[in-house]
């Protein structure tokens, strides 16, 4: 009888051992699968290719190529500057705000570089002076600002020489600083120091404040086609 109990106990122990081994094996297999998945996920992350924004290839395989890919939204190759005219306003009573830079769309007295500026002259009207390395041509007022779409290449662009200014006060038809200067709509084409072209028109002058409408070819060429100033 005693030997029978030992036999039954031995069988039960062996069964528990087998079950325990089966449980460990299943757990190990699950862990192995998880480890493989983790490795694969890590490899997938490491192998992700960033989108190159100017090679006509879908580098990251998301279905969008170059600038159509949201990853390229801020890339210089995909940022399009609008071709809109802009305004610059200065106060002739403040000696620190008489220069204008059409390349950076700035007006100020301490600019590191400029394209043109104003010399206050209440008697004859504010004079426009060209900055060094800028040349200009007076295109007159036969065409409206927006209708001047290309910088002419068959004219002479001149620089200021001493007190002989290319533009001077040819932009006005009369008036005074107190009552307001009368603008005649002259368009001036400027060839800037970086080789790009721009056009300007003085649109307002009163009480020492002068406003200039301007556009510079954003591509650095002679295309002066632009959109109106946003309202």
* Dist CA 93 CA 96 (whole Å): 9
Q: What's the pLDDT at 25?
A: 52
Q: What's the pLDDT at 110?
A: 85
Stronger pLDDT, 79 or 180, i.e. the higher one: 180
pLDDT tens-digit readout, 75-117? 867 876 679 999 999 998 887 779 999 999 999 888 999 999 9
| pLDDT(14) > 60 | no
Any residues with CB less than 8 A from the CB of 94 and at least 6 apart, and which?
109
Beta bridge partners of residue 211, listed in sequence order = 89, 204
- Say if residue 180 is exposed, middle or buried (CB neighbours under 10 Å; 0-12, 13-18, 19+): middle
pLDDT class of 26 with cuts at 50, 70, 90: low
Any residues with CB less than 8 A from the CB of 203 and at least 6 apart, and which?
87, 183, 211, 212, 213
pLDDT tens-digit readout, 215-224? 999 998 999 9
Tokens describing residue 174? 């009369």
Q: What's the pLDDT at 146?
A: 97
Contact 182, 175 (CB under 8 A): yes
Q: What's the pLDDT at 31?
A: 56
pTM for the model = 0.68
| pLDDT(120) > 70 | yes
pLDDT class of 28 with cuts at 50, 70, 90: low
Range in 43-52, 115-124, 134-143 the model is least confident about = 43-52
Q: What's the pLDDT at 45?
A: 42
Q: What's the pLDDT at 167?
A: 97
Stronger pLDDT, 11 or 214, i.e. the higher one: 214
Q: What's the pLDDT at 16?
A: 38
Show contacts of 181-188: CB within 8 Å, 24+ apart: 181/125, 181/126, 181/205, 181/206, 184/141, 185/141, 185/144, 185/145, 186/138, 186/139, 186/140, 186/141, 187/139, 187/140, 187/141, 187/143, 187/145, 187/148, 188/128, 188/136, 188/137, 188/138, 188/139
| pLDDT(207) > 50 | yes
* Dist CA 123 CA 145 (whole Å): 27
Contact 181, 206 (CB under 8 A): yes
Contact 204, 229 (CB under 8 A): no
Stronger pLDDT, 54 or 44, i.e. the higher one: 54
Stronger pLDDT, 117 or 41, i.e. the higher one: 117
Stronger pLDDT, 123 or 223, i.e. the higher one: 223
| Domain chopping of the chain, boundaries | 2-72, 86-216
* Dist CA 130 CA 125 (whole Å): 16
What mean pLDDT comes out for the span 48-61? 89
228: phi then psi, degrees, rounded to nearest 5: -60, 160
């Amino acid at each position: 009888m005693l030997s029978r109990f030992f036999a039954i106990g031995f069988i039960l122990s062996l069964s528990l051992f087998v079950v325990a081994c089966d449980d460990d094996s299943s757990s190990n297999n699950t862990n192995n699968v998880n480890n493989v998945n983790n490795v694969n996920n890590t490899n997938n992350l490491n192998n992700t290719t960033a989108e190159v924004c100017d090679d006509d290839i879908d580098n990251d395989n998301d279905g969008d190529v170059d600038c159509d890919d949201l990853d390229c939204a801020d890339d210089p190759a995909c940022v399009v500057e609008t071709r809109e005219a802009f305004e610059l306003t200065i106060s002739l009573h403040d000696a620190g705000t008489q220069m204008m830079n059409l390349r950076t769309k700035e007006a100020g007295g301490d600019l590191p570089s400029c394209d043109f500026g104003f010399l206050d002259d209440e008697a004859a009207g504010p004079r426009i002076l060209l900055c060094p390395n800028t040349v200009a041509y007076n295109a007159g007022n036969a065409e409206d600002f927006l209708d001047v779409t290309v910088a002419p290449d068959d004219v002479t662009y001149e620089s200021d020489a001493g007190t002989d200014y290319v533009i001077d006060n040819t932009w006005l038809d009369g008036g005074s600083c107190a009552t307001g200067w009368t603008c005649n709509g002259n368009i001036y084409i400027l060839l800037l120091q970086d080789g790009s072209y721009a056009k300007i028109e003085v649109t307002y002058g009163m009480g020492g404040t002068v406003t200039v409408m301007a556009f510079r070819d954003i591509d650095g060429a002679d295309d002066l086609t632009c959109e109106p100033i946003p309202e």
